[in-house]
Copies of this chain bind each other. A is one copy, B any other.
């Protein structure tokens, strides 16, 4: 799945860091349940927890909803959205139930979402509201929840249609309990950006009919690979080290260059994971960027190939579900040679390989990830790999992967302004 082509990986250097990496892997392995933030790795195998989520999914599926509205922002929605787009495609045609992510208080974004929801309610069909906030006090989430709840209440008694996903002792939890909404717990020590295998991801994904066992198996299998103490066979350890070494070598930007439009949100999910976990002080922080092939070759390739050598690129290549062949129109051969009658995936592949060769020629640092396909299994494996990688990278860089001490800063100012 992972290749470390042109990333300057040196086994000897890697070995020097092995005790540190092993120590952290040991810590992760020994974490019982959710006793500390490393416990996120235990979610996929926590069958008691998963069964509780599944039970709620079964209960809500019986209501035969036409729409699931996920109300959450950042870690509360990026993971599920990434999986939905990867598995069902960015355009999500013919999805039943449909899904909407209400992830900001931008009224021009919310208005059409409300329109869709109201149309469904008017037709006497059902919607499920899934409000997700670990703290239960995220301004955007609570605001949107109120608006959707208000809409729903105009058409139905909301009790069976609302699912609250939150910390067990949050005020939102208490509110949900009082109103007899369904309650799904996010274990206290599981941080938002590490929560995709908790109810945060599982409930919406299960509602859309994604096979959660398959999804969780991808994560479990990857846990095995990544807690492997033969470090050279451990993709999380090796990649954490590659990013670390490149960062020391002034590759302060990490670009996830996905050759698949449907994976853009997987890139955005990882962007949060890297940005927030590692960006801790003036000396430590890597700016994550997301590029999409082949589109962005026509937008930033000039900069990436010839500009300042400040990036490490992780190319991600995958298999496509659809197959489309070009017609054979001889006349077009004059415009672009050698593509008549061939498959689009073959063109994608040629552009991918051409890009790799150009990066090599320009001596740009990159790694390659081959994602076998866009099934829930593979996407989950990718996510689990990346989460463990980030924990190891944080250890190498000696920062706390699990907090975000400076985010409070704008929130405090915002609260002051709202008081006026």
Cα–Cα, bound, A227→B362 (Å)? 38
Q: For residue A414, which residue of chain B has the nearest CB?
A: B354
Cα–Cα, bound, A358→B414 (Å)? 9
Q: Among the listed B293, B298, B326, which residue makes an inter-chain contact with A147, where contact means beta carbons less than 8 Å apart?
A: B326
Among A108, A268, A358, A413, chain B packs the most CB atoms within 10 A around the CB of: A108
A99 to chain B, nearest CB (A): 14
Enumerate chain B residues within 8 angstroms of A310, measured Cβ to Cβ. 252, 287
Are A335 and B172 also in contact (CB < 8 A) when A93-B115, A351-B414 are? yes
Q: Among the listed B279, B338, B416, which residue makes an inter-chain contact with A306, where contact means beta carbons less than 8 Å apart?
A: B279
A106 touches B348 (CB 8 A): yes
Cα–Cα, bound, A275→B311 (Å)? 14
A335 touches B305 (CB 8 A): no
B351 touches A139 (CB 8 A): yes
Q: For residue A276, which residue of chain B has the nearest CB?
A: B302
Q: For residue A103, which residue of chain B has the nearest CB?
A: B295
A322 near B: Cβ within 8 Å? Answer: yes
Are A335 and B136 also in contact (CB < 8 A) when A93-B112, A150-B327 are? yes
Q: Among the listed B322, B362, B406, which residue makes an inter-chain contact with A302, where contact means beta carbons less than 8 Å apart?
A: B406
Among A106, A294, A334, A345, chain B packs the most CB atoms within 10 A around the CB of: A106
Among A261, A308, A339, A342, chain B packs the most CB atoms within 10 A around the CB of: A308
Q: Is the interface of A mostly helix, strand, loop or mixed?
A: helix
What 0/1 readout, one digit per residue, does chain A (359-371) give for beta carbons within 8 Å of chain B? 0011000000000
A81 to chain B, nearest CB (A): 11
Q: For residue A193, which residue of chain B has the nearest CB?
A: B299
Are A271 and B285 also in contact (CB < 8 A) when A73-B295, A324-B110 are? no
A118 to chain B, nearest CB (A): 12
A410 touches B354 (CB 8 A): yes
A114 near B: Cβ within 8 Å? Answer: yes
Enumerate chain B residues within 8 angstroms of A405, measured Cβ to Cβ. 302, 306
Q: For residue A75, which residue of chain B has the nearest CB?
A: B298
Are A297 and B407 also in contact (CB < 8 A) when A146-B332, A326-B143 are? yes
A281 near B: Cβ within 8 Å? Answer: yes
Cα–Cα, bound, A106→B288 (Å)? 23
What 0/1 readout, one digit per residue, does chain A (149-174) give for beta carbons within 8 Å of chain B? 11000000000000000000001100
Q: Chain A interface: which size bin?
A: 35 or more
A292 to chain B, nearest CB (A): 8
B73 touches A294 (CB 8 A): yes
Q: For residue A279, which residue of chain B has the nearest CB?
A: B303
A265 to chain B, nearest CB (A): 12
Enumerate chain B residues within 8 angstroms of A113, measured Cβ to Cβ. 91
B299 touches A268 (CB 8 A): yes
A350 to chain B, nearest CB (A): 4
Are A146 and B329 also in contact (CB < 8 A) when A112-B93, A139-B347, A322-B111 are? yes
- 12 A-B pairs besides A108-B322, A305-B406 with CB distance below 8 A are A75-B298, A105-B294, A105-B347, A107-B324, A108-B374, A139-B351, A143-B339, A275-B307, A297-B410, A302-B407, A305-B407, A353-B417
3 pairs of A and B residues whose beta carbons are closest in the complex: A285-B307, A279-B303, A74-B298
25 contacts between A and B (CB under 8 A): A73-B294, A73-B295, A104-B292, A105-B294, A105-B348, A106-B262, A106-B344, A107-B344, A108-B261, A108-B262, A110-B324, A146-B327, A149-B329, A171-B334, A276-B303, A279-B304, A281-B306, A281-B307, A282-B309, A283-B308, A305-B409, A337-B418, A350-B414, A354-B414, A358-B409
Residues of A participating in the B interface, judged by any CB pair closer than 8 Å: 73-75, 78, 89-91, 93, 103-115, 136-140, 142-143, 146-147, 149-150, 171-172, 175, 192, 252-253, 259-262, 268, 271-272, 275-276, 278-285, 287-289, 292-295, 297-311, 320-324, 326-327, 329, 331-332, 334-339, 342-345, 347-348, 350-351, 353-355, 357-358, 361-362, 374, 404-407, 409-419
